[in-house]
Amino acid sequence: MRIGIDASRAVRLERTGTELYSYHLIRALLRVPQEHHVILYAPRDLPADILPETRAGQSKISQIGLSDTDAKRWTVRIIPFPRLWTHVRLNWELRCHPPDLLFIPAHVMPLACPVPTVVTVHDLGYRYYPEAHRAFDRWYLDWSTRRHVRLAAYIVADSEATRHDLAYHYGADLARVRVIYPGYDETLRRVEDAQIIADTKARYHIAGDYLLYLGTLQPRKNLSRLIEAFARAGLSWRPSGQQDLQLVLAGQKGWDYDALVRLVNRMGLQNRVLFPGYVAPEDKAALLSGAKALVFPSLYEGFGMPVLEAMVCGVPVVTSRVSSLPEVAGDAAVLVDPLDVDSIAAGLSQVLCQPDLCRMLVERGYRQAQRFSWQNAARQLWEVFDSARR
The order of strands in the sheet holding 210-214 is 273-277, 246-250, 210-214, 293-296, 317-320, 334-336
Residues 203 and 336 in one domain: yes
The order of strands in the sheet holding 2-6 is 74-78, 37-42, 2-6, 101-104, 117-121, 154-157, 177-179
State mean pLDDT over 77-102: 93
Q: Are 292 and 211 in contact (CB under 8 A)?
A: yes
Give backbone dihedrals phi and psi of 145, rounded to 5 degrees, phi first.
Answer: -70, -40
Residues 150 and 234 in one domain: no
Residues 306 and 336 in one domain: yes
The answer, yes or no, to whether residue 282 has pLDDT greater than 70, is: yes
Among the residue ranges 81-85, 176-180, 197-201, the one predicted with the least confidence is: 81-85
d(CA 11, CA 41): 10
Classify residue 189: in a domain, yes or no.
no
Residue type, 302: G
Residues 357 and 381 in one domain: no
Classify residue 110: in a domain, yes or no.
yes
Residues 198 and 251 in one domain: yes
Which DSSP string corresponds to 103-126? EESSS-PPTT--S-EEEEE---HH
Residue type, 64: I
Q: How many domains does the chain have?
A: 2
Residues 141 and 227 in one domain: no
Name the pLDDT band for 68 (thresholds 50, 70, 90).
very low
CATH label of the domain that carries residue 138: 3.40.50.2000
pLDDT at 55: 36
Comparing 82 with 149, the larger pLDDT belongs to 149
Domain that holds residue 255: 194-369
Residues 164 and 90 in one domain: yes
Residues 163 and 200 in one domain: no
Classify residue 317: in a domain, yes or no.
yes
Q: Are 293 and 172 in contact (CB under 8 A)?
A: no
Classify residue 188: in a domain, yes or no.
no
Q: Are 76 and 40 in contact (CB under 8 A)?
A: yes
Classify residue 20: in a domain, yes or no.
yes
Classify residue 201: in a domain, yes or no.
yes
Residues 69 and 151 in one domain: yes
How far, CA to CA in Å, does 40 sit from each of 26, 62, 112?
A: 9, 10, 20
The answer, yes or no, to whether residue 69 has pLDDT greater than 50, is: no
Q: Are 109 and 151 in contact (CB under 8 A)?
A: yes
Name the pLDDT band for 238 (thresholds 50, 70, 90).
low
Residues 168 and 215 in one domain: no
pLDDT digits (tens, 9 = 90+) for 360-390: 999 999 999 999 999 999 999 999 999 998 7
pLDDT at 233: 87
Helix (H, G, I), strand (E, B) or coil at 58: coil
pLDDT at 266: 96
Classify residue 104: in a domain, yes or no.
yes
Residues 121 and 266 in one domain: no
Name the strand (E) or helix (H) holding 75: strand 74-78
* Cα angle 112, 118, 123; round to 5: 100
Q: Are 336 and 344 in contact (CB under 8 A)?
A: yes
Name the pLDDT band for 6 (thresholds 50, 70, 90).
very high
Give the mean pLDDT of the chain: 90
Helix (H, G, I), strand (E, B) or coil at 275: strand
d(CA 246, CA 290): 12
Which DSSP string corresponds to 289-343? HTSSEEEE--S--SS-HHHHHHHHTT--EEEESSTTHHHHHTTSSEEE-TT-HHH
The answer, yes or no, to whether residue 57 has pLDDT greater than 90, is: no
Name the pLDDT band for 226 (thresholds 50, 70, 90).
very high
Classify residue 83: in a domain, yes or no.
yes
Residues 145 and 209 in one domain: no
